[in-house]
Amino acid sequence: MGQVGEWPDELIPLDAHPNPSDRYAAASWARQLLIRRDWVVVDTETTGLTNTDQVLQVAVLDPSGRILVDTTVRPTCEIHPRASEVHGFTIESLGSAPTYDQVHDAIVSHLAGRRVIAYNSPFDQRLLAQSAVAWGLPPVESLWECAMRRYAQYVGSRRRPGSEYTWHKLPRGAEPEAIHGARDDCLLTLKLIRHMARPLVSSS
Q: Are 118 and 43 in contact (CB under 8 A)?
A: yes
Question: Looking at residue 8, what is its pLDDT?
Answer: 87
Strand extents, DSSP E, the chain: 39-46, 55-61, 67-72, 115-118, 143-146
Q: What's residue 110's pLDDT?
A: 96
What does the alpha-carbon distance between residue 161 and residue 49 come to, in Å, rounded to a whole number? 30
Write down all domains in the chain, each with its CATH number in brackets.
Answer: 8-196 (3.30.420.10)
Measured CA to CA, the distance from residue 129 to residue 108 in angstroms comes to: 11
- The Cα-based distances of 98 to 27, 56, 133 in angstroms read 39, 10, 17
Q: What is the pTM of this model?
A: 0.91
pLDDT at 162: 76
Cα dihedral value 184, 27, 23, 112, nearest 10: 60
From first to last of its 204 residues, what are the pLDDT tens digits of the chain?
334 447 888 878 888 899 999 999 999 999 999 999 999 999 999 999 999 999 999 999 999 999 999 999 999 999 999 999 989 999 999 999 999 999 999 999 999 989 999 999 999 999 999 999 999 999 988 999 999 999 999 999 988 877 899 999 998 865 555 567 999 999 999 999 999 999 987 655
Q: In degrees rounded to 5, what are phi and psi of residue 24?
A: -60, -40
pLDDT score for 4: 40
| Structure confidence at residue 1 (pLDDT) | 32
Dihedral angle sign, alpha carbons of residues 127, 130, 132, 138: positive
Supply the pLDDT for residue 179: 63
Largest CA distance in the chain: 57
